[in-house]
Amino acid sequence: MTGANPTIEHSANDSNNGNSPKGVSAAPATAARRRRGKSPMAREANITGWLFVSPMVLGFALLLIAPLIMAFSMSFTDWPLLGEAKFIGLDNYRALLVDSLFWKSLGNTFYFAAGLVPLNIALALSLALLLARNLPGMGIFRTAIFMPVVTSLIVWSIVWKYMFATDSGFINQLLQLVGIQGPAWLYNPKLAMPAVIVTSVLKNVGLNMVLFITALQQVPSHLYEAAKIDGAGRAKTFFSVTVPMITPTIFLTTILTVIGSMKVFGQIYVMTHGGPGNSTKVLVYYIWEKAFRLFEFGYASALAFILFFIILIFTLIQWQLRTRWVFHES
């Protein structure tokens, strides 16, 4: 029509092109889309998701959070198991400060961790570098090294206790073949903890080895080719290419190994019982002794929470420091 209003035609064109006229907000359309997103079907999907997750959340609350709260409250009591729990406030924590066995066991725990963590990581990475290649027979060696991981800790500790025996032990018999009189490994205060550390390293090194093998096999080959073109030798390639690319795995294995070393118990219980002369009495063994030998559950709970906070602090420190040395490929 020749008499059509140009303004009307312009508005119609703007509407058809998806352009709102000036002064008209697009909020109603957005609100409509949001309302459609909260349709009955969407709400039903959310409810279904929560129903699937709720058993795990409920189990986590009942089996972890609730006992944790109960144990924390128990640390403020004097509970001799057969009697009634008596609230004593911070007396258990004050007693820790003057408990020489607490400080001795804490020092032994740090000693064990300081020996286990670097030895485990270094040995696992060395084995991974040797076994990461897909060559015939490598699977046999990987399986052999990983087998102790799936072996019972108690069985493993019993075997090594007999291997470290003074007279009939396998290690001392090997030393006698070369004319060396073997020491009493588990009865010498200076040698008992190193013996337990070696036993623990050989027990768990296979797990970290597998993690390192996986990380090494994921390093892009073109990085090694570029390093070779630049004239880098094996050592420089390892420290400039390999190590930075596997730092996330190094970080993971370090955290897991540190946490595990702070909670060592089975090897100590089987091999040394905390001796000789409390030289291997670690914090977890001391907690067990207080709780299940002396029945001082309140004091044992206080010890347990001290260990919990120590592990938490170490983990948080490592987590904060990760940004300085852990490489994340973008």
Domain containing residue 197: CATH number: 1.10.3720.10
- Residue 289 has a pLDDT of 95
**82 in a structural domain:** no
DSSP state of 273: T
Interatomic CA distance for residues 122 and 209, integer angstroms = 10
- Residue 161 has a pLDDT of 95
Closest CA to 93 of 305, 263, 278: 305
Interatomic CA distance for residues 169 and 190, integer angstroms = 18
Clarify whether residues 53 and 101 are in a common domain: no
Clarify whether residues 98 and 59 are in a common domain: no
- Residue 205 has a pLDDT of 95
Q: For residue 101, give the amino acid letter.
A: L
180-233 tens-digit pLDDT: 999 999 999 999 999 999 999 999 999 999 999 999 999 999 999 999 998 889
Of the CA atoms within 13 Å of residue 219, those in its CB half-sphere come to 25
- Residue 10 has a pLDDT of 46
Length, in residues, of the chain: 330
Spatial neighbors of 93 by CB under 8 A, at least 6 apart, are 75, 302, 306
**9 in a structural domain:** no
Are 105 and 285 within 8 A, CB to CB?
A: yes
Clarify whether residues 43 and 136 are in a common domain: no
**18 in a structural domain:** no
Clarify whether residues 136 and 224 are in a common domain: yes
Instruction: Pick 185 or 323 by higher pLDDT.
Output: 185
Which pLDDT band, with edges at 50, 70 and 90, does 25 fall under? very low
- Residue 65 has a pLDDT of 84
In sequence order, the β-bridge partners of residue 87 are 77
**2 in a structural domain:** no
Clarify whether residues 106 and 34 are in a common domain: no
pTM of the model: 0.81
Q: How far apart are the first and last CA of the chain?
A: 61
- Residue 15 has a pLDDT of 44
* Mean pLDDT to the nearest integer, 36-50: 71
Last residue of a domain, one of 18, 46, 74: 74
**1 in a structural domain:** no
pLDDT at 85 over 60: yes
Clarify whether residues 59 and 97 are in a common domain: no
Clarify whether residues 46 and 161 are in a common domain: no
Interatomic CA distance for residues 76 and 124, integer angstroms = 42
Spatial neighbors of 274 by CB under 8 A, at least 6 apart, are 268, 280, 281, 282, 285, 286, 289
- Residue 9 has a pLDDT of 46
Instruction: Pick 167 or 291 by higher pLDDT.
Output: 291
Interatomic CA distance for residues 152 and 203, integer angstroms = 10
- Residue 209 has a pLDDT of 95
**5 in a structural domain:** no
> How many other CB atoms are there within 10 angstroms of residue 240's CB atom?
14
Clarify whether residues 33 and 162 are in a common domain: no
| Alpha carbon separation from 115 to 26, 198, 278 (Å, rounded) | 66, 9, 18
Clarify whether residues 40 and 122 are in a common domain: no
Domain residue limits at 55: 26-74
Are 196 and 204 within 8 A, CB to CB?
A: no
Clarify whether residues 157 and 274 are in a common domain: yes
Interatomic CA distance for residues 155 and 152, integer angstroms = 5
58 token code pair:
């409920």
Which pLDDT band, with edges at 50, 70 and 90, does 64 fall under? confident
Residue 86, SS3 per DSSP: strand
Clarify whether residues 49 and 125 are in a common domain: no
Measured in degrees and rounded to the nearest 5, phi and psi for residue 86 equal -120, 125
* Mean pLDDT to the nearest integer, 273-283: 94
Are 88 and 76 within 8 A, CB to CB?
A: yes
- What is the number of domains present in the chain? 2
**12 in a structural domain:** no
Clarify whether residues 184 and 59 are in a common domain: no
Interatomic CA distance for residues 13 and 56, integer angstroms = 56
Interatomic CA distance for residues 279 and 188, integer angstroms = 9
**83 in a structural domain:** no
The alpha carbon torsion through 95, 96, 99, 104 (nearest 10 deg) reads 170
pLDDT at 81 over 80: no
